Structure 1
């Protein structure tokens, strides 16, 4: 008869679930949400699915009117939430680092638009008029907040600087993007007018300011329910995309786009992103910024916000918004993929600090609800 083997007791710590699997096996359960090796952002898949739905079942007649009204209300509510989330005090705390913030603002609202204007020579040989208008609009929208913070943290850069730079860009973009559009898009036939500027003020700026004014009373609620409200953000943007692309299908403007034009647009955007990444990295070095600040400048100064750009395009372009936002949608996915690779390489830099800076809450820019890989998990960006 075999003698029973003694059972070895393993000491447990508080919070131990008793799972004896190796750590890398235990962590795989969390990764089942979205495989980190897939190059496509899951929210981009939702956006593409929404475009497909609009192509198959576009809103017409009364349905189009209902969708347009709901989209207008969703845009206003979206910017109201932006105002309620954005801590003006936190943004103003970064004024001490004014050189860095001015550098990021110059990249976002000066250098980007100049490159967009330079691309006018590609029309109509490589880009159609509508695609060029969308490309120019892409260069006018503000930078992202969440993804800039996440990539800066991953690369072990100056996270507080990234928070302030992204916040400043979003804050300034509410006013400056419409003004730049009035100055630059008017000459391209982009449909910008005084009426468009009034719509921007009423649908975007007024709700944003209302959110800022009410933040004292509702800021806590918004912070406690940020996950649920994040789904509201994403749903609102999907509704805007569906309405815009439905109008485009009804108007028949998609027949104007050929695969060759789309290929040309992708090539132009690859060059645009490469130029901005190089200028922000080497330019900030020439300005005397240290490594941590250069990382913040590169990630905050080279990206564009899909969350801010889509609602603005819907107001500015109306039925032509579908083609106008196409360059921004493509650029958004491209910047996430490229910056993720760069951030991982920066984290292995011998000059990097042994430990990354503490990660800040990524709740200030819904940034279209994208998912980006950070360390062993995912975050919205």
Structure 2
């Protein structure tokens, strides 16, 4: 029943994402509205709040308890932060001198993101995988992503204004991401019960901030006619690229897991957790990394398409795997 409710909320969230895009088209948020409600400032504080709550929710005991299963953890994190970027990097020589480099960079941004947390754990649970290791890797992935995502992107992001741009990115990472997480971890022993009691409300706050980021970004895109630079062909290329990326990573991780003689439960966890990408982190890093306003929508599109696809397809796949007998190959 709990899992069914979670997926109904995920489906509602996908619907609300579409509503935000439609609202941005029909009722875009203009800068002049900030004198009534400063949306950008609210989102900035919301980003810090999300990572503060992330630190509060992080169960350090679970993290320590599952360290022994290190081969599985290495495979999952390697898939997330090495295999994904490497697969996209293979296509860089084909686009570096063309007009498609921005499209490539938006897919590379997706490839550099951490794994998602809640849906990874839920789907592993449905498929009867190793839930403890799923929790461990989903949590650790977010922490690793604080360093790895900006580091990987720094090789290709062009500073917008002078040499101070990288310093500003580091400052934003410290203020909006790292410090709130550290503060949350420090307050974890005192506020853990409070976080557990209001976990549903906290999850809704996460979604609210993401929806507002999508609304603000698409509002700017529609008011400045940025979609003229994202024609239907570009969208189709992005959609095909991210779906192809998912299946490639999923099957490579499954192949490696079998070669390493992992148990069926660990193979499920490796393929499910290692092939996920987080819309939460994608939306937040979009702002923290200082992506130019005229490119925000282009960077959001692959993340949103991937997020939607992984929810629908992997939920179907998890239920299919759950119905198999234990001796069937995963």
- TM-score normalised by structure 1 residue count: 0.77
Q: 1:70 aligns with which of 7, 31, 42?
A: 42
Aligned equivalents of 1:221 and 1:45: distance in 2?
30
1:225-304 → structure 2 map (5 Å cutoff): 225-304=198-277
1:81 positional shift = 0.9
1:26-51 Cα shifts (integer Å, max 9, x gaps): x9xx98x8997xxx922111111112
Q: Report SS of the residue matched to 1:41.
A: helix
Please list every run of 5 or more consecutive structure 2 residues that lacks an aligned counterpart in the other structure: none
Q: 1:341 aligns with which of 278, 291, 316?
A: 316
Q: 2:326 aligns with which of 346, 351, 356?
A: 351
Q: 1:84 aligns with which of 45, 56, 81?
A: 56
Residue 55 of structure 1 corresponds to 25
Q: Give yes or no for the alignment of 1:201 onto 2:166.
A: no
Q: 1:329 aligns with which of 304, 312, 320?
A: 304
For the structure 1 residues 34 and 77, does the alpha-carbon distance in structure 2 shift closer, same or farther, using more than 3 Å as the test? closer
For the structure 1 residues 80 and 273, does the alpha-carbon distance in structure 2 shift closer, same or farther, using more than 3 Å as the test? same
The answer (yes or no) to whether the contact 1:126–1:264 under 8 Å persists in 2 is no
1:84 positional shift = 0.8
Residue 76 of structure 2 corresponds to 104
Residue 123 of structure 2 corresponds to 151
More helix by proportion, 1 or 2?
2
1:217-247 Cα shifts (integer Å, max 9, x gaps): 1121111011122221111111122222223
For the structure 1 residues 244 and 59, does the alpha-carbon distance in structure 2 shift closer, same or farther, using more than 3 Å as the test? same
Q: 1:140 aligns with which of 112, 116, 119?
A: 112
1:251 positional shift = 3.3
The answer (yes or no) to whether the contact 1:313–1:324 under 8 Å persists in 2 is yes
The range that moved more, 98-107 or 242-251, is 242-251
1:126 positional shift = 10
Q: Report SS of the residue matched to 1:350.
A: coil
For the structure 1 residues 34 and 196, does the alpha-carbon distance in structure 2 shift closer, same or farther, using more than 3 Å as the test? closer
Q: Report SS of the residue matched to 2:87.
A: helix
Q: Report SS of the residue matched to 2:67.
A: helix
Aligned equivalents of 1:176 and 1:300: distance in 2?
17
The range that moved more, 287-296 or 129-138, is 129-138
The range that moved more, 97-106 or 84-93, is 84-93
The answer (yes or no) to whether the contact 1:127–1:261 under 8 Å persists in 2 is no
Determine which structure has more spread, i.e. the larger CA radius of gyration. 1
1:181-200 Cα shifts (integer Å, max 9, x gaps): 223434999x9733222212
The answer (yes or no) to whether the contact 2:62–2:132 under 8 Å persists in 1 is no
Please list every run of 5 or more consecutive structure 1 residues that lacks an aligned counterpart in the other structure: 1-26, 354-381
Aligned equivalents of 1:276 and 1:132: distance in 2?
17
The answer (yes or no) to whether the contact 1:100–1:297 under 8 Å persists in 2 is yes
The range that moved more, 121-130 or 222-231, is 121-130
1:83 positional shift = 1.0
For the structure 1 residues 287 and 240, does the alpha-carbon distance in structure 2 shift closer, same or farther, using more than 3 Å as the test? same
1:127 positional shift = 8.1
Moved over 6 A (4+): 33-36, 124-127
1:105-155 Cα shifts (integer Å, max 9, x gaps): 100000001112123356489984433222110001101122111111111
Q: Report SS of the residue matched to 1:142.
A: coil
Aligned equivalents of 1:133 and 1:44: distance in 2?
24
For the structure 1 residues 188 and 345, does the alpha-carbon distance in structure 2 shift closer, same or farther, using more than 3 Å as the test? farther
The answer (yes or no) to whether the contact 1:64–1:243 under 8 Å persists in 2 is no
Cα RMSD of the aligned pairs, angstroms, is 2.8
The answer (yes or no) to whether the contact 2:106–2:299 under 8 Å persists in 1 is yes
The answer (yes or no) to whether the contact 1:137–1:185 under 8 Å persists in 2 is no
Aligned equivalents of 1:210 and 1:223: distance in 2?
17
